[in-house]
Amino acid sequence: MAQLACLGGKPIAQNWLEKNELKFRPDLERKYLMEAYDSGIWDDWPGMDSMSARFEKEWAAFNSSNFCALLTNGTHTLQVALETLDIGVGDEVIVPGLTWQATASAVCDVNAVPIIVDIDPETLCIDPQKIEGAITPNTRAIIPVHLYHRLADMDTIMQIARKRNLFVIEDCAHTHGSIWNGKSAGTIGDFGSFSFQRSKLINAGEGGALLMQNEDYYWKVVSQRSCGREMKEGIKVHSGNYRITSFQSAILLGKLEAHRTNAAIIDRNGLALDRAIANAPGVKPLRRDGQTTRQCSYAFVFLFNPDAFDGMDVKTFRKALSAELGLPFDTTYTPLDHSEVYYPHTKKRHHLNEFYKKAIHPSRWELPVANDIWKHKAVLTQWKIFGCPPDQAHFLTDAIVKIYENRYQLIGL
């Protein structure tokens, strides 16, 4: 019987991810940063040949999108998209129960009501079967999130949206460069909203972008990011300042260069990791929809089955796996009905009236699937794992087999 690493035994892999296939281009990031500095154009002022304008062109082309607009972050992108669609007081927007709080908070920030829907237990993205039942005469939009390691079922979501005359804003904060049935994630709905925050695949510390195919939307977005100025005759939307700096855009340009290579690597290696999970006992990969042409994930997730491990707690399993592979494994975000960072009803700005206060109270919602996954099943690690070459993926299987075979060392501790 082998001793588990979390009990002092020898780990399955030491320096498992040392040989990491992901490429980075700090040389280009520095070069573009210096170019931005020397140009003296440090902001994203309309009409200037800025680093931001350059990145917007490149990001739109990379995703085969008609338009791209950079903004401050992936929360403001959602808010600005909603306001472009004139969504506000009296409107409802459907969002998934498992996501970062921004997806729902942005809806409150335009004084609309987030209608929170449970997730598909096999992809962790919004369950399209539950969307229809959540639609009311006040529903204006759906915000599917391409969460962690899967894309939301865009075929069904777009079908529902077309039938019920709803807008779709794809929250792509977790996916940069994924492709659904030949179309880039973020170009299928009315908007694609991206975050370039520190933890993301492409990041500049902070930052965000909207992709859109409709020219009027584009001019409304650029008006909003620049204090409501009229950037095209007759098109303006009252707003604040949501502009990014050229220094962020310079870094994004360098990151995008690396991502051109990494996108295919992440997809290929992600599939190898899924296979490694499929080959291991008591665990299951997330379901990859056949429409997924390319999956560029923010995090790798699989599902643990406590019964198969004779009642072992998922926390114990994650700790044991982290020790075997020298890599931290964690759980998902807290579902929105329990989230420590989603409590919009407490904010005076949202106290429009008693009805609204109740309507945005997170405890209104029951999300049994999201809660079960979060508490009992999810095993998640950040995107660094996608650098693992396919011939090293078996270490993941080996580690799980070892924990499974030696589970009685841990059960009841």
Ligand X SMILES: Cc1ncc(COP(=O)(O)O)c(C=O)c1O
Report if residue 103 touches ligand X, rule: CB under 6 A: yes
Q: Of 4 and 142, which has the nearer Cβ to ligand X?
A: 142
Cβ neighbours of residue 149 under 8 Å, at least 6 residues apart?
124, 270, 286, 295, 297, 298, 299, 300, 301
Query: CB 116 → ligand X: shortest distance, Å?
Result: 14
Contact pattern from residue 112 through residue 151 relative to ligand X, giving x for each residue in contact according to CB under 6 A and a dash for the rest: ---------------------------------x------
The encoded tokens of residue 293 equal 């042409």
For residues 381 and 119, give the distance between their C-alpha atoms in angstroms, rounded to a whole number: 20
Antiparallel, parallel or unpaired: β 167-171 and 191-195: parallel
223 binds ligand X (CB under 6 A): no
Residues contacting 182, CB < 8 A, separation 6+: 293
**d(C-alpha 312, C-alpha 4), whole Å:** 14
Q: What is the rounded CA–CA span in Å between residue 346 and residue 190? A: 31
CB of 73 to ligand X, least distance (A): 4
Please, which residue, 203 or 406, has the CB nearer to ligand X?
203
What tokens were used for 114? Answer: 């987030």
Query: Least separation, in Å, of the C-beta of 123 and ligand X?
Result: 14
Q: For the sheet containing 179-180, what is the strand order? A: 183-184, 179-180, 292-294
For residue 251 the two structure tokens come to 């870094």
| Residue whose Cβ sits closest to ligand X | 74
Q: Does 197 bind ligand X (CB under 6 A)?
A: yes
- Judged by CB under 6 A, the number of residues near ligand X is 14
Q: How far is the CB of 226 from ligand X (least distance, A)?
A: 19
- Nearer to ligand X among residue 386 and residue 404 (C-beta): 386
**Adjacency order of strands within the sheet including 113-117:** 67-71, 208-212, 191-195, 167-171, 139-142, 92-96, 113-117
Q: How far is the CB of 337 from ligand X (least distance, A)?
A: 17
**Site for ligand X, residues 157 to 186, rule: CB under 6 A:** 171, 173-174
Q: Which of 50, 63, 75, 79 forms a contact with ligand X (CB under 6 A)?
A: 75
Decide: is 100 part of the binding site for ligand X (CB under 6 A).
yes
**Contact set with ligand X (CB under 6 A):** 73-75, 99-100, 102-103, 145, 171, 173-174, 195, 197, 208
